[in-house]
Amino acid sequence: MNHTDPTLVGKEGLVIEDTENAFMIGSNSRKILVIKQNGLFQISTKGKIFVVPGTKLIGKPEKRGYKFG
């Protein structure tokens, strides 16, 4: 993960909450709030890895459509 907030660079964990402009990741029994706007994220799911700019993740989770591949 890369982010304009240097304290978030390299952080990883499971997404435990997703909102319109941010998400919360759980890491080592800590919760970290991550603003989507200024980040570049590596997302792994089902054995595949995707690099996604945070601007593509902005929006209400229930209204976002994902198209990978």
Q: What is the CATH number of domain 2-61?
A: 2.30.30.210
pLDDT digit string, tens, across residues 13-54: 999 999 999 999 998 889 999 999 999 999 998 999 999 999
Residues 6+ positions from 21 with CB-CB distance below 8 Å: 35, 36, 37, 58
Phi, psi (rounded to 5 degrees) for 56: -80, -15
Bigger pLDDT: 68 vs 5: 5
pTM value is 0.75
For the chain, what's the residue count? 69
List the domain boundaries for the chain.
2-61
- CB atoms inside a 10 Å sphere around CB 36: 21
CA 21/CA 35 separation, integer angstroms: 6
